[in-house]
Amino acid sequence: METKERKGAVLFSKYTRGEAIKKAISKTREDVLYELRESKLKGRGGAGFPTATKWMIVAAASSDEKYIICNADEGEPGTFKDRVLLLEYPQLVFDGMVVGGYTIGAKYGIVYLRGEYEYMKKSLEDYLEAMRKDNLLGNDILGKKGFNFDITIRMGSGAYVCGEETALIESLEGNRGEARNRPPFPVNTGFMGKPTTVNNVETLAAISHITIKGGEWFRKHGTDKSTGSKLFSVSGDCEKPGVYELPWGTKISELLELVGAKNTKAVQVGGASGTCIPKSQFDRTLAYEDAATGGSIMIFNESRNMLHVLKNFMEFFVEESCGQCTPCRIGNVKLLEGVEMIEKGEYTFAYMNQLKDLGDTMQVASKCGLGQSSPNSFISILENFKEEIFNGNGGHNGK
Amino acid sequence: MENKDNLRAPVSQKSLTVEKPTDLTTIGGTITVEINEKKVSVPLGTTILEACKIAGISIPTLCNHEDLCVAGVCRICVVEVEGMRTLQASCAYPITAPMKIKTSTPMVRKARRNIIDLLLSEHYGECYSCFRNGKCELQALAKEYGVDSYPYGHVDKPKYEVDNSSYSVIRDMSKCILCKRCVRTCIDLQEVGVLEAIDRGDKTHISTFLDKPLADVICINCGQCINRCPTAALRANDPSDEIWAAIDDPTKHVVIQTAPSPRAAIGEEFGLGAGHSMTRELNTALKRIGFDKVFDTNFTADLTIIEEGTELILRLYKALVKKESIALPQLTSCSPGWVKFLEHYYPEYIDNLSSAKSPQQMFGALIKTFYAKKAGIDPKDVVSVALMPCSAKKFECNRPEMNSSGYKDVDYGLTTREMARMIKEAGINLPEMPKGDFDNPFGEASGAGLIFGATGGVMEAALRSVVEFVLGVKVEDVFANANIIPLRGFEGVKYVEIPLGEKMGPVPDILKHLVPNWDWLKGVTLKVAVAHGTANAKKVMDNIKAGGKFSECHFVELMACPGGCIGGGGQPIPTTPEIRKKRAEAIYAEDESLTLRKSHENPHVVQIYEEFLTEGPCGHLSHKLLHTHYTKRGRYIA
């Protein structure tokens, strides 16, 4: 396992394996939850649901079986921070799961690992085996009578939609990866119909720190509404791509400077399903209340053709829609066709407006987050780069 | 929260709805919601769609179907809920707290219109060349929402080849809108599981195992998917062109037998509400179309009762008296969908299936032998058509063993829908027809044959005869008005015990050569069961396999379709529990109106044993013409 030293005030701060588990079991479940609530931690996958609320509902549910699932499907284009956490800081993730097991009363934890990450399965399983040997997993963990918890790793098969928590659960149950209707939510009716919490890798890692250092300490970082820090997966036109831990509230321009980005034209915040931010808005902050992201930051410099960027995203969604609901399955095809029309110079503005209208419908009428967010790039790129796209190059843009 | 009886279906697609409280007076048992500013109180767990219905507000739906679990995939039923960023699919949203719902806001209307336009952009074909023209749910929505152009385009060539490999069901996937009703019908309702969505994104489509033709997978031909398809993606294999050709050919003698269920439902195709029996109007209409003779399938239903009942008595005699090892319980074989289901899923129980043919096939064999001879017609010139509520009957008449007359016993199986179209094509308005009679030599049949159409009907018909045969009393003395109520209704599986007591009657003449007396049945309790829909049939069979209470049964009636034949795959679309109930009521009412209500009292049945099947029930000629054998198919198809 790599031992490269990473810098960061929260996630990459000092942590010893098992620390959070020890601390958690010395307290009551309520006290662990209290710290979590105090931290105001929000889900790091992108949706930003308050983690404490999720855990409290599962903790309060009366069921003999409950599950905690670590969402390690990391499928959003441009995200690779979970890979870093799993490879270099597995203790943070697994300890966070054990703390979760204790807090919500689950006996089983499942890591849903992205299909492409199969290469790390062996080392992660070895790590779990070592935890079992040290009684950080198994029965009566660290001598706490009756606290039994274990973790298994299950592989995804490469469908982007399985990062959506209910599709992930379907996949775990052996079914086709398709989002469920909500409500009921997984916290009531999750894996095998039992109360289940699904948390992102980074969320669980943050929980390990919060358990040790407290909610108040965590809250000192970030902004009022976006507490703590965030891992950003930075890629594209910059000198130093990679994973950075920065407090929420960092300006886009600050981040660009840090990573050595020059002549930047646009930043795609939040991956293919995120929004594309033009130069004029680089003073916006990375935060749930402003430019929200699950961590993906893609940088495009002046040499990039934004229509090509958009086409790439739309091709991705046409292929990755699970195909069950109408707006997402067919809507993305129509948006892609619209991009191709612009490419050929064979479009009318009336039809482009119709497609924007369609984008609005997809955002509100699609069944899950995939379809609801897939028009984001289409809408933001056409809006923010209309000069380049419609007026540049004699109407035959990108050719 | 959820029903996990069946692990094959995704939990999400079963019934992830909130269980409704039994006592609505408990706190929180009833919730008041505001729909378009109108207050309405509904039980906890009611969906927004149901609540809107209660409030008298109509919401368009496509993927939703009363018989099926929730899908929430077409998104046409979206509504606005105050405080929520996104629209909610009303079919899938259970109400658990007070909320304010708006069903016709600009956002909602725009979304619905966009969804219809998107579906139309991928839906191949023009309405006027489509057999669902005027009966298509997508077409109806397009009309309702004033679609006058295709803003997102329209496909001009088919995406998939039409699969017409099956005798029964034709799949035209270029017309599919991926509502998955067929998938849910096949997996959840029928538990057959031949259809499933495969691939993703724009490549998503409904497929069979390895994309094989339907004829090569374990489809049981029940056609329930057809009844629930909102478009023409699924349809029955229609032989009406061949039938017209036969009618138009002066050298052909075209006869038709009509089953009771189509007669109870065909009025729906002519704008009547469910539950109007059109038996006698149909007799006239069929003659006017050009059929030479119209026969009543109930005649062979009566014959089935005699043959199958005799077979049961023989099985019981062998088991109880001769102590032979004989397959029990005896399972009915009238439903060809059920028969194929058993052949695939429970081939080891093939000996339990009654060897008696279904009424359709018995009739086929008699028409080209007994009738042809009597009428002085060469059987090769007889074209035999069967009006059935069923798509599986098309497969059944094409089974290679169904040629005991020396010819193909039944040439064409025709569904209720196809018959209605033929009648309309001939310019006939069925409900206006004068009443007509069935033709001789088979004439009128009994009410026992008639009730074959509803689940439990075969068993009731059989018991009406068995009770009189064995106990020597009038069935009316045992069951008021000869109605065996415990066998009726739509409960998935019914179980009835009838203690025969100590007082036996004399053996009737027709059975005298088979059993000496009934003493061996003294003190025996007759145990029978009834199941409809293959999902329920599966429950019974699994119970038998596990040695449960149904393995103690003597006789079990099983029908492939929910509700029995009245809910068959060839019946008018739509189908709902309410419609099936009304069709069944029509059948029971017609039975009640007849004087002849027992199969063994049918004078034509008595006559055929005197004149033709002279060795009696289960005799040599019976075996040749009226009984058959089955194939152990198994679940693995090359």
Estimate to the nearest angstrom the gap between the alpha carbon of B161 and the chain centroid. Answer: 28
CA-CA distance, B392 to B220, in Å (whole number)?
7
The mean of the pLDDT values for chain B is: 94
Partners of B458 in the β-ladder: none
Is residue B217 assigned to a domain? yes
Residue A68 dihedral angles phi and psi, to the nearest 5°: -120, 125
**Burial code of A157-166, b = ≥16 C-beta within 10 A, e = fewer?**
eebbbbbbbb
DSSP tally for chain A: helices H, then strands E: 16, 9
Per-residue model confidence (pLDDT) at position B638: 60
Interface of A with B (CB under 8 A): 159, 161, 166, 170, 173, 175-176, 178, 180-181, 183-184, 188-189, 192-193, 317-327, 329-334, 351, 354, 357-358, 360-361, 363-367, 372
Catalytic residue among B269, B311, B343, B468: B311
Using CB atoms, which residue from B111, B151, B201 is nearest to A329?
B201
Domain stop point among B104, B134, B157: B104
Eight-state DSSP code of residue A141? G
Band the pLDDT of B9: cuts 50, 70, 90: very low
C-alpha A163/C-alpha A171 separation (Å) is 10
Helix (H, G, I), strand (E, B) or coil at B346: coil
Task: With both helix axes pointing from N to C terminus, report the angle between A201-213 and A29-39 in degrees, rounded to the nearest 10.
Answer: 110
Q: Are B262 and B189 in contact (CB under 8 A)?
A: no
The residue with tokens 């973790």 is: A151
Is A181 in contact with B12 (Cβ distance < 8 A)?
A: yes
Measure CB to CB from residue B11 to each of A173, A321, A326 and give the nearest one: A173
Note if B308 is an active site residue: yes
Tell me the chain B residues in contact with residue A319 when contact means C-beta distances shorter than 8 Å.
200-202
Cβ–Cβ of B115/A189 closer than 8 Å?
Answer: no
Domain with CATH 3.10.20.600 in chain A: 229-301
CA distance to A52, A71, A176, B30, per residue, from A166 (Å): 19, 11, 11, 29
Shortest distance between the Cα of A173 and any Cα of chain B, in A, equals 8
Sort out which chain A residues have CB atoms less than 8 A from B92's CB and list them: 181
B468 counts as catalytic: no
Name the residue type at position B572: P
B478: part of which helix (H) or strand (E)? helix B475-478
Q: Which of A296, A270, A264 is nearest to A282 (CA)?
A: A264
Sheet of strand A150-155, all strands in order from the earlier edge strand to the far edge: A150-155, A108-113, A67-72, A196-200
* Interchain CB distance below 8 Å, B107 and A333: no
- What CATH number is associated with residue B152? 3.30.70.20
Buried b or exposed e, range B24-43, using 16+ CB within 10 angstroms: eeeeeeebebebeeeebebb
- With contact defined as beta carbons under 8 Å apart, do B504 and B522 qualify? yes
Q: How far is CA B278 from CA A50, B254, B275, B602, in A?
A: 63, 21, 9, 22
Residue B634 placed within a domain: no
Block residue for tokens 């298509």: B136
Using CB atoms within 10 Å of the CB of residue B209, give its burial: 0 to 12 exposed, 13 to 18 middle, 19+ buried. middle
Final residue belonging to a domain, choices B104, B139, B167: B104
Q: Higher-confidence residue: B27 or B390?
A: B390
pLDDT tens digits, one per residue of B167-198: 999 999 999 999 999 999 999 999 999 999 99
Strand partners, B32: B41
B120 and B61 share a domain?
A: no
Strand partners, A69: A110, A198
The answer to whether the CB of A42 falls within 8 A of the CB of A226 is yes
* A162: β partners: none
Q: Which pLDDT score is estimated for B13?
A: 46
Q: End-to-end CA distance of chain B, in Å?
A: 40
Mutant choice from A161, A319, A330, A351 vs B, greatest count of B C-beta within 10 A: A330
B-chain residues near A317 (CB < 8 A)? 201
Q: Is the dihedral of CA B485, B486, B487, B489 positive or negative?
A: positive
Sort out which chain A residues have CB atoms less than 8 A from B110's CB and list them.
357, 360-361
Q: Phi and psi at residue B144, in whole multiples of 5°?
A: -60, -40
Rounded to 10 deg, the angle between the A306-320 and A375-384 helix axes is 170
Residues B51, B449: Cα–Cα separation, whole Å: 42
Q: Does B565 qualify as catalytic in the annotation?
A: yes
Contacts of A196 in chain B (CB under 8 A): none
- A81: burial class by Cβ within 10 Å (0-12, 13-18, 19+)? buried
Same domain for B514 and B585, yes or no, is: yes
Cis omega before residue B441 (within 30°)? Answer: yes
Q: Answer whether residue B418 is part of any domain.
A: no
Distance CA B339, CA B378 (A): 32
Residue B364 in any domain: the answer is no
Is B126 in the same domain as B226? yes
What ipTM, to 2 d.p.? 0.94
Tell me, yes or no, whether B230 and B308 share the same domain.
no
pLDDT confidence of residue B443 = 85
Residues of chain A with pLDDT under 50: 1-3, 394-395, 397-399
The SS3 assignment for B516 reads coil
Instruction: Give the residue carrying structure tokens 């969604």.
Output: A317
Q: Which residues contact B440 (CB under 8 A, 6 or more apart)?
A: none
Output the 3-class SS for A99-125.
Answer: HHHHHHCCCEEEEEECHHHHHHHHHHH
Of B205, B236, B267, which residue constitutes the final position of a domain? Answer: B236
Torsion angle, alpha carbons of A193, A196, A199, A204, to 10: -150
- What pLDDT is recorded for position B12? 43
The distance of A309 to chain B (nearest Cα, Å) reads 20
- Owning domain of residue B123: 116-236
How distant is the Cα of B229 from the closest Cα of chain A, in angstroms?
Answer: 16
* CATH 3.40.1000.10 for domain A306-395: no
Question: What residue ranges in B445-507 does DSSP mark as E strands?
Answer: 493-499
Count CA atoms within 13 Å of residue A290 on its CB side. Answer: 17
**Of residues B513, B518, B463, B500, the one with CA closest to residue B332:** B463
Q: Kindly state whether residues B131 and B216 are assigned to the same domain.
A: yes
- Locate A169 and state its tokens: 């659960």
Q: Is B203 part of the contact surface with chain A (CB cutoff 8 Å)?
A: yes
Give the C-alpha separation, A88 to A243, whole Å. 12
Do B142 and B73 have their domain in common?
no
Contact B118/A366, CB-based, under 8 Å?
no
Residue B116 Cα, gap to closest chain A Cα (Å): 9
Q: Is B295 among the domain residues?
A: no
| Phi, psi dihedral angles at B429 (to 5 degrees) | -95, 100
Residue B306: give its domain's CATH number.
3.40.950.10
The string of DSSP letters for B194-235 reads --EEES-GGG-EEE-GGG--GGGTT-----HHHHH-SSSSEE
Domain count, chain B: 3
- CA B198 to chain CA centroid, Å, is 28
Assess B114–A contact: CB distance below 8 Å, yes or no: yes
Span B195-214, average pLDDT = 95
Kindly state the average pLDDT of the residues B57-81.
95
What is the spatial distance between Cα B379 and Cα B404, in angstroms, rounded to a whole number?
A: 12
**Does residue B276 belong to any structural domain of this protein?**
no
Can you tell me the mean pLDDT for B627-638? 88
The tokens for A379 are 């809408």
Is B396 among the residues known to form the active site? yes
- Give the single-character DSSP code of B165: -
**Cβ distance of B178 and A323 shorter than 8 Å:** yes
Q: Supply the pLDDT for residue B3.
A: 37
> How close are the terminal C-alpha atoms of chain A, in Å?
46
Q: Which fold has domain A229-301?
A: Ubiquitin-like (UB roll) (3.10.20)
The reply to whether B340 falls in a domain is: yes
Q: What is the CATH number of the domain that holds B24?
A: 3.10.20.740
Strand, coil or helix: A71: strand
Residue B153, number of CB atoms within 10 A of its CB: 12
Please write the tens of the pLDDT for every residue from B493-523: 999 999 999 999 999 999 998 999 999 999 9
Asked if residue B70 and residue B122 are part of one domain, the reply reads no
Residues B598 and B556 both lie in one domain:
yes
What residue of A is the nearest CA neighbor of B71?
A181
Contact A176 B10 (CB under 8 A): yes
Note whether A251 and A275 are within 8 A (CB): no
Sequence letter at residue B350: I
β-partners of residue B555 are B330, B528
CA distance A309 to B211: 36
The dihedral through the CA atoms of B141, B143, B147, B149 has a sign that is positive
CATH 3.40.50.11540 in chain A: give the residue spans: 19-219
Given the residues B137, B268, B307, B396, select the one marked as catalytic.
B396
pLDDT at A341: 96
**Confidence at B261, pLDDT banded by 50, 70, 90:** very high
Nearest to B192 by CA among B390, B4, B346: B346
Check residue B186 and report its DSSP letter. Answer: I
CA A367 to chain centre: 19
Strand partners, B84: none
Distance, in Å, from the CA atom of A156 to the CA atom of A174, rounded to the nearest integer, reads 11
pLDDT in tens, B298-356: 999 999 999 999 999 999 999 999 999 999 999 999 999 999 999 999 999 999 999 99
β partners of residue A72:
A113
Q: Assess whether B99 and B150 both reside in one domain.
A: no
In terms of domains, do B599 and B524 share one? Answer: yes
**Residue B562 belongs to a domain:** yes
Query: What's the rounded Cα separation, in Å, for the pair A297 and A246?
Result: 13
What's the pLDDT at B11? 45
Q: Would you say the C-alpha torsion B585, B586, B592, B596 has a positive or negative sign?
A: negative
Same domain? B90 vs B131: no
Under 8 Å CB pairs connecting chains A and B tally to: 138
Span A19-219 CATH architecture: 3-Layer(aba) Sandwich (3.40)
Burial class (CB in 10 A: 0-12, 13-18, 19+), A342: buried
Q: B231 and B348 in one domain?
A: no
pLDDT at B125: 83
Do B35 and B63 touch, CB atoms closer than 8 A?
A: no
List Cα–Cα distances, B517 to A180, B419, B521, in angstroms. 63, 47, 9
Contact call for residues B257 and B360 (beta carbons, < 8 A)? yes
Residue B627 per-residue DSSP state: B
B159 near A CB under 8 A: no
Structure tokens at A327: 């707006």
